[in-house]
Structure 1
Amino acid sequence: MPKSTSYLIGAGVAAAAALLGAVSYTATKPAERSPAVVAEAPAAASAGASAEPQAGVHPELQKYARRDAKDPLAVGRADAPVVLIEYADFKCGYCGKFARETEPELIEKYVGEGTLRIEWRNFPIFGEESERAARAAWAAGQQGRFWQFHKAAYADGAKERGFGEEQVTALAREAGVADLARFGRDLDSDAARRAVAADQEQAYALGATSTPSFLVNGRPIAGAQPIETFTAAIDAAGREARR
């Protein structure tokens, strides 16, 4: 991790980071691993999915929630009692499964009534196209169309078509990005690269080694788990937050 990173972790956070890393490792069991090539986490492993309020919870990890009301890569009230942070890659098949099958149900069940806020973190780990898709999503967000881009990029078949320059522009158009010239400038900007790098540094500092990885009020969860895993964690976190 670069010396300049703002995500300095103390002993407590380091312990939780080790847990998240171990859970990710157990989920993937690769023969070899490097930051540039990381396996996707299957729907078989999670950390802290118990409904017990404090089981698997690391309160010090709650500080990673930004709670910025102007964050275009977030949905839900900034003061929601529960924040789910997702670290994901647009080339990750399991991330797509979560985006299509689980996330919409969580938004319908919890975000609308004010319990849950979801904050996205770009965690591109599958090479150049992953990086471009992450910057494109950020660029779409600058025009208020991140979640529309997110839906288009995770639609069935999008990953297989790849995320070349023409494809991400087509996705931006599908997402309703109004100014495609500005989108292109933002996509290739230093600001986009810094934003994506900051998200990556945070994920690596937390020990995330696969996508998707999640924090629910400081409770690590690895992989595209069944929806019951997330509802149990959100319900427990909500009860604890309201005590």
Structure 2
Amino acid sequence: MTGTTKREITDQQWADTTLLWDYQQMGHDLRPCDVAIGLGSHDLGVAAETADLYLRGLVKRIVFTGGPNPSRPDHFPHGEAVHFTEHAIALGVPQSAVLIEPTARNTGQNIEFSRAVLAAAEVPVSSVLLVSMPYMERRAFATCRQVWPEVEAVCASTPMDLHDYVKTIGDESLVIDSLVGDLQRVIEYPRLGFAVAQDVPGSVLDAYQRLINDGFTSRLLS
């Protein structure tokens, strides 16, 4: 099965996906932080949410990070960080508030390279708002705790429920595949030194395995 295959999603599969969705969001209370890091992805909602956090006064500086999207290189031809920056500026963020990190190709690099950009700009950082796609919050948090343990990480994403998010993406199977793939990374990356370990409830692991058995596998690590 590919991520774009059209198929009917059963009630059990939606229930299992909802368990993954709820688990992979951190539920952090938003508070002012030194900087927001908008993590590159295919979803311009990340840029819009980062801009909103800035305009609400929760941060004074933003880093947008990400090179060309490896799975959709035609989507943001100038790289994720560049397009995210353009979108944020169109929403009212001053260009002077944004730093661009245009080369990262994974979440670890997003955070590591953003840290270097902030250091080069002499921006002191003790807390960061990590802005990601909703289902990526836990992986972003676990990665930041591994790569940049000195800072307090607060996770943020566009507030919406699973079904509203599916509507924004327009592909049910792709969203489920992505949730399954992200949870696999939460589970496996600590063993590879990429992230700190997270407790995964048995009910979530059972749902994850059922979705794999049902063929939602296009975003799994090989």
- Structure 2 length as normaliser, TM-score? 0.31
- Higher RCO (C-alpha under 8 Å, 6+ residues apart): 1
Normalising to structure 1: TM-score of the pair?
Answer: 0.29
